[in-house]
A and B are shown apart, each in its own frame.
Chain A
């Protein structure tokens, strides 16, 4: 059984079957060519239109709706394409003018002149009628085939064809052309134009090529885009690969530099640490040096000041010889230093204290103190206990001998006080200084008959030393558990004859320690 147009079209659309498409062209090329011929009256343009129509068919095949009568579609498309062609070439107007003039002068119209209007009249029919006429007269189908195509019986097809002819005739009549339905039935097959031999074959190839060309063009565009993109990608890829390689080298270089930097860092750190240790040591040395220098400077300054005080004291004695005693000739340089070490010699009391210290140190010299003690014992043994009359009696027993100026300062007398520790009592015979140079500060050295030596304040009633002793004793009596820590505490116990300001100076001067 022969395949229907729909089947063929579907095979082509679905499978791209060239055979199916060729069969379709074979079947309908005359119809299409005929439509084109009627419009163009020229083989070459008609062939072009036919080719264009089938090319359209090839392109549109996949999108044609199922059930679309192909013959009707081809007719419509062929006519539209032909009209477009005519419009393009400005031929249609001339032909329509000629046809109108012909209709006006002839009652028996020339069919050849009416053919260009046939397709327009066919188009005016409804689709079923047009389909029936196209099948019956342009496809030269039997009434049975027409009925099969229309889905009706033979009789119904006959009736449809007849009615369609009548509609066609009426269409011509409305254009002023009088024709009979029978005449039309006779003339319509004549309107059927056979396409030139080989056209179908040519159209098939060209249409398929054109359709494929469209697809190929799209494919080519996409391919070119793809190719271009691929090229770009390839170039990019190459660039990336090169960059990666370069980056890898750079990275390796960086790593290498970092690795090489490690030992340099270690060395730099070690050098920094060594330098820091060296600096620390140098700082410590510098600090020690500065401290040492400061100490040295302080010591030198202190020594200079100390020696200046010694000079000051010596100058004092030189200016006022009465404050000196002849024993002071025995003083060594150390004695002068001892006396002036802590004594600033700034106040009169401080200077008096220093001079008293010098006198005490002088009297304590072995040449005086031990000499007197030994001479007294020797004198006692020689005189068998007889008490001498004057210091001159000691002279033979003094070793070394002492000058008369020294001896003249002493006397043999009777003590007015006892000696607590040895049990000597007041009234005992003693050898001692006659008078103090400064009763407030001087001590009295007493050589007892027993051979003992003692020292006590050389105080006389009313002087500062005695006043201090009395005030101290009174304070302790009033405050058995306390020691006076300042002169102010003793002021209430002083005789009114003592000037508090003088007493304060005296207190401070007595507090000066004597270096040992």
Chain B
């Protein structure tokens, strides 16, 4: 072949090689472009999806805020419509007490889930909730009402007796043994608030025993009781004895005031107790003067 054709062939080959190489590059580039386009499309789709989610959330949020505002306005309207200011105040006290409990959850006990509207009204109808003592008293009342609910007190008591019947009269040695006999069953949050009391001769094996500044009434020995009281001075303690129903102790401060009153009358025959200062000399050390003064304010409240 002469030089020109050879050059032509070489050119052809070079062009062919170049074309193939460029085609290879182009194919790779096309893949890259497709990948980049897909990535971009996915990103745009994601962007769109997130914007839609945001819009939906904001729309729903606006609707909810409107609903909340409407509910608040409706409440205000309802209250304004109530002609009886006393009843309105009462209802407001119920809400204040609920708010207070929400901010002080350590004062709540799980048994309070069984409270009904009447219980809240009971705890507040003659309590202005204006002082610390008044609030403590209202909460004590709520907790006492809660523990007195059939789901708690009667339930525990019946379960204890059912257990004893099934075990030759022997009481439980651990609270978990009651589980099978509780009807309705109770959660661990409630069960964990109670504990079996070991039998101690001369201490808890008879009626009318005094324990921790409180006097318990019942039959047989105390089998189990409330373990911890949210308000050690004001709260009553729920106890369960071998015989009889669940029993509620008097509170520590009531016990202390009662004992101090007895001591005062004994030391001052014919003189009635009319001021807390009269009891101070007879008060057990566990009760502070300030606690007595606060309690004095509410001691006759039910």
Contacts of A272 in B (CB 8 A): 50-51, 53-54, 57
Contacts of B144 in A (CB 8 A): 516
With an 8 A cutoff between CB atoms, is A41 at the interface?
no
- Number of B residues, CB within 8 Å of A: 71
B47 in contact with A268 (CB, 8 Å): yes
With an 8 A cutoff between CB atoms, is B185 at the interface?
no
Closest CB-CB distance, A373 to chain B, in whole Å?
A: 12
Q: 18 A-B pairs, CB-CB below 8 angstroms?
A: A226-B12, A233-B18, A237-B22, A251-B29, A258-B39, A258-B43, A265-B50, A271-B51, A282-B61, A282-B64, A296-B91, A299-B94, A299-B121, A302-B116, A341-B121, A513-B148, A516-B141, A516-B144
CB < 8 Å neighbour of B15 from A233, A265, A337: A233
Interface range, A side: 35 or more
With an 8 A cutoff between CB atoms, is A234 at the interface?
yes
CB < 8 Å neighbour of A265 from B30, B47, B122, B243: B47
Interface of A is mostly: helix
B5 in contact with A223 (CB, 8 Å): yes
With an 8 A cutoff between CB atoms, is B118 at the interface?
yes
Closest CB-CB distance, A451 to chain B, in whole Å?
A: 12
Stretch among A29-37, A131-139, A238-246, A463-471 lining the B interface: A238-246
How far does the alpha carbon of A515 sit from the alpha carbon of B124 in the complex, in Å?
13
With an 8 A cutoff between CB atoms, is A175 at the interface?
no
A240 in contact with B71 (CB, 8 Å): no
Interface residues of A in 477-499 (CB under 8 A from B): 481-483, 485
Contacts of B95 in A (CB 8 A): 292, 296
B57 in contact with A268 (CB, 8 Å): no
Given the known interface contacts A233-B19, A244-B25, A302-B118, the answer about A295 and B98 at a Cβ–Cβ threshold of 8 Å is yes
How far does the alpha carbon of A257 sit from the alpha carbon of B64 in the complex, in Å?
37
How far does the alpha carbon of A127 sit from the alpha carbon of B128 in the complex, in Å?
150
How far does the alpha carbon of A485 sit from the alpha carbon of B118 in the complex, in Å?
25
* Binary CB contact string for chain B from 27 to 70 against chain A (1 if under 8 A, 0 otherwise): 00110110011011001101100110110011011001101100
How far does the alpha carbon of A265 sit from the alpha carbon of B41 in the complex, in Å?
12
Extra contacts, 17 of them, besides A272-B54, A285-B64, A334-B125 (Cβ < 8 A), are: A223-B8, A226-B5, A254-B33, A261-B40, A275-B54, A276-B57, A279-B58, A286-B67, A292-B95, A296-B95, A302-B117, A334-B302, A337-B121, A341-B121, A481-B161, A483-B245, A513-B148
With an 8 A cutoff between CB atoms, is B4 at the interface?
yes
With an 8 A cutoff between CB atoms, is A155 at the interface?
no
Contacts of A282 in B (CB 8 A): 60-61, 64-65, 68
With an 8 A cutoff between CB atoms, is A290 at the interface?
yes
Given the known interface contacts A272-B53, A275-B57, A296-B95, the answer about A485 and B16 at a Cβ–Cβ threshold of 8 Å is no
Contacts of A255 in B (CB 8 A): 36
Given the known interface contacts A240-B19, A271-B54, the answer about A230 and B61 at a Cβ–Cβ threshold of 8 Å is no
A234 in contact with B67 (CB, 8 Å): no
With an 8 A cutoff between CB atoms, is B120 at the interface?
yes
Which A-chain residue is minimally distant from B242 (CB atoms)? A481
